[in-house]
Amino acid sequence: MSRRIQRRRTRTALAFLAPALTVITVFVLWPMASALRASFTDSRILGEAEWVGFENYTRLLSDDRFTNALKNTAWYALVTTPVSVALALGFALLLNRRLPGRGAFRAVLFFPFVASLGVVSIAWAFLLDPQVGLVNHWLNQIGLSIGDGVRDPDWAMPAVMLVGIWRNTGFFMVMYLAGLQSIPRDIREAAVIDGAGPVGRFRYVTWPLLSNTTMFVMIIASIFAFQAFDQMYVMTAGGPFFRTETLVMLIFDTGFRDFEMGYASAMSWALVAIILLLSLVQIGYFRSRAVRY
Amino acid sequence: MPRRAQLAVVALVIAVAGCGGDDDGGDSSGPTTITFWNGFTDADRPAVEEIVNRFNESQDEVVVDMTIQPWDVINQTLLSAYSAGEGPTIVAMGAEQFAGYVSTGAWAPIDEVYDEGLLDPATLPAASIEATTYEGERYGVPMSAAAGMLYYNRALFDEAGLPGPPESLEQLAEYAVTLTDYHPADETNSVYGFALPDHGALPHWPVLLWADGGGVVADDNSRSLLGEPASIEAAEFWTDLLINEHISPIGLSGVEGDNLFAAGKAAMVINGPWSSGAFTEAGIDYGIAPIPPGKATQVSAAISVNMHLAADASDAERAAAYQFFAFWNSEESQTYWAIETGYPPNRTDIPPSAVAENPTSAGFAEAVGARLYLQGLTKASQINDDVVIPTIQRMTRGEGTPAELLPEAAAQIDALLAQE
C-alpha cells in the first residue's frame, strides 16, 4: 500500500472518529483537566479563584472527615467487590447450564443493573425499614432482627452494601457468561475424557481460562465500589454520624453544599489516583496469571 | 475529497453543531423573557404553574419561562449555571441556604421593589424579610412562608382518652408516652407517640431547645449555645424519652416521620403545610395545632422560601422580575396560593376568612413564634449537617450523654462561626 493511500485512510479514520473524540474531549478530558487546575486553587465556582499550590492536597492529609470517608469506601469495596464477583461467577456457572426458565432467571438477575439506582434505593429503604418494612417483619417472624435497619449505626453499612451487591451481581454475571461461552468446548471435553470431575474441571480448566474475564470484572467492580454514592445518598445521607459517608459523597457535599470546589477537586483527583493505582495493581496481578489458549 | 471523507466531515459538523449553546431567544422589540427556577415539584406544583400562567396572560411585556426541578438539582447546577452566564433570572431558594449563596455574589439586591412601593414589607412575613436581608440590603421577596405545626391523629388521641392537642411541651411528652405502644420484638406492630426526626426535616431539636431556653447558636451568631445548661437539660429530657420510653424511632428522617404518621403509626408529628395532602389521602383524621410552649417560650421553625434575582440580570430583566415579584405577592395570587396549597398567604392583610375554604391554610396561619434556624450564617449547612445532626444521632444512640457531647459540639460550632 502506498504511503499516500495509507495517509488518506488514516485521515478518513480520524474524520470518522472525530465526533466521538470531540465528545470525549469536551465532556471527559476537558472537565478532568479543569478539575485538576481547580484543585490547586480556592475555587468556589463563582468569582475569581486564587492559586493555592498544594494546600488542598496537604489539607487532605489532616482531614478526619476525608480519612473516615476513605476508610468507609475501602471497607465497602473490600466487602462488595469479592462478594458480588463470587456471586456473579456462581450464578453464571449455574445459568450456563441447560435449565428451564434460564432466560428469565438471567433477566431477573440483570434487571437491577439497568434500573435506576436512586429508585431502587428508595424501594430498599422501605423494605428494610424497621417500622413499615417487609424484610424486618419477616425476619422478626423467625426471631431475627436487623435493628433499626439503615438508621442503625451497626446495620447501615451492611444495608448499603447489600444494595450495591444486589445491583452489580447481574452485570458481572453477564460478563462471566460471555467468558464461559468463549471457552473452547474441546478443552472441556478433553478434561472430561481425561476423567476430571466437576470440581477438577472448574479448578484446572474453567477458572484459569476465565482469568481475563475475572481481571475485567474485578477492576470494574472495584471502580464501582470506589464510586459508590447513590444508595448512600438516598438511604442514609451518609449517616448515622458519617458511618456510611463515602469519598464521592464527601466530594459532593464539599463541592455542591459547601461550594469548596477547589478542595472537592483535590479529593476527586485523590480518588482518581487511588482507582488508577488499584487498577494497575490488579492488572499486574492478573497479567502474571493470564492463560493464553 | 473522497465521498467517505465528505460524509465524515458532515458528521463532525453535525456533532459540533449539536454541542452549540442555545439562543437566548426574543428580540429587542418583543416581550422580555425571564427564566425562573424553583423546586416546587410536589403537590404545590400546579398552583405555582397556574400563577405563572396567570401572570403571562395578564400582560404582554414579560414572559416568565419557568423550570421546576428538584431542589437538589438546583443546588448542584445553580452556581455553575451562573458562572457560565446561563443561570436563571429568578431562583427560589430556602432561607437556610440564603447566606451561603448571597455571599458568593450570585444575587442582586432588590431594595427597589420595596422602596418603589411595588411591595409593602409591613404586609409580608417578618421572618421572610429577615431571611432575605444581608449586610443591610434586601436580596429577595417571599415565595412561600409558613411555620412548623403539630399534626395530631384524632383517632389515636380519642382511643387514649386524650382531650385534644397538648398545651405545653411537657404535656406533649406525657401524651407521647401515653400514646406509645412499643413492640420491640416486631416494630412493625408499634405505634409511636411523637415521630421526632433528626435529619431531612424541619429543625425539630433546635425548636425543643429554644422552647426551654437553650439553642444551637446565639441570636447574634457570636457563639454556640449547645453547651449551655438549658440546652443540655432539654436534650437530656427528650433523649431519655426516645431511648427509654420509645416515643419515636431513633434516627428518623423527615419523610420517614411523615410515613409513620400517614400509616397511623405515629400520633403526632411536626411539619409544614405540604404534608396535609398526603395525610388526608392516607385517610388520617388529623388536627393541626401550634407547637405548644416550653419552659421558656413558644416557638416554631420558620419555613421560608424566597425568590432572588441574578446579579447579572439586565435592566429589562430586573424590571420584569420586579413585576413578577409584585404579581406573585398580590392579594389575588396569594389567596389562590393559600387555598390551593394550604400555606398561609404571604400577605398579612389577607383576612383568614378569605382562605377559610382550606382549613390547613387557616390552621397554619395560627402558628406562633416563627423563628429562623441558623439565619444569616454562610456555614449554616456545615453547622447543621456536620455537627448538630451527627451529635443528636450519637446522643440518641447512647454513644455519649448530652452533657458530654453537647459542649464538644458547641466547640466545633464555635470554630465554624469563627470562619464566618
Calpha distance A158→A169 (Å, rounded): 16
Q: What is the pLDDT of residue A171?
A: 96
Cα–Cα distance measured from residue B315 to residue B370, given in angstroms and rounded to the nearest whole number: 35
Q: What is the ipTM of this complex?
A: 0.83
Is A243 an 8 Å CB contact of chain B?
no
Q: Do residue B190 and residue A256 have CB atoms under 8 angstroms apart? A: no
Q: Which residues touch B304 (CB under 8 Å, ≥6 apart)?
A: B94, B95, B125, B127, B128, B131, B142, B144, B145, B372
Looking at residue B184, what is its pLDDT? 87
| Contact status of A64 with chain B (Cβ, < 8 Å) | no
Find which of B3, B6, B10, B12 to mutate to test the A interface (most A CBs within 10 Å of its CB).
B12
For A12, the closest of B8, B100, B106 (CB atoms) is: B8
Which DSSP category does B373 fall into?
S
pLDDT the model gives residue A259: 87
Residue stretches of chain B with pLDDT short of 50: 1, 7-27
DSSP per position, B77-146: HHHHHHHTT---SEEEEEGGGHHHHHTTT-EE--HHHHHTTSS-GGGS-HHHHHHTEETTEE--EEEEEE
Q: Does A239 touch chain B (CB under 8 A)?
A: yes
B105: which chain A residues are within 8 Å (Cβ-Cβ)? 46-47
Predicted pLDDT of residue B23? 41
- The beta-carbon neighbor of B382 closest among A16, A239, A258 is A258
Helix (H) or strand (E) holding B147: strand B141-147
Asked if B265 lies within 8 A of A132 by C-beta distance, the reply is yes
State the pLDDT at residue B6.
53
Asked whether the beta carbons of residue A15 and residue B5 sit closer than 8 angstroms, the reply is yes
User: In which residue ranges of chain A is pLDDT below 50?
Assistant: none
CA B259 – CA B236 distance, rounded (Å): 26
Q: Which three cell numbers stand for residue B419?
A: 470562619
Could you give the CA distance from residue B225 to residue B232 in angstroms, rounded to a whole number? 9
In angstroms, rounded to a whole number, what is the distance separating the alpha carbons of residues B105 and B134? 11
Yes or no, beta carbons of B265 and A131 under 8 Å apart = yes
Q: In what order do the strands lie in the sheet with B149-153?
A: B268-271, B149-153, B286-289
A253 contact residues in B (CB cutoff 8 A): 385
Where b means 16+ CB within 10 Å and e means fewer, A123-154 reads ebbbbbbbbbbebbbebbeeeebbebbbbbbe
B contact test, residue of A46, A135, A244 with most B CBs within 10 A: A46
Residue A167, pLDDT score: 94
Q: Do B397 and A153 touch (CB under 8 A)?
A: yes
**Alpha carbon of B168: minimum distance to chain A alpha carbons (Å):** 28
Give the Cα separation of A185 and A12 in Å (integer): 40
Among A5, A148, A151, A235, the strongest candidate for a mutation testing the B interface, having the largest count of B CBs within 10 A, is: A151
Cα–Cα distances in angstroms (integers) from residue B86 to residues A28, A143, A260, B79, B139, in the given order: 21, 57, 21, 10, 20
**pTM of the full structure:** 0.86
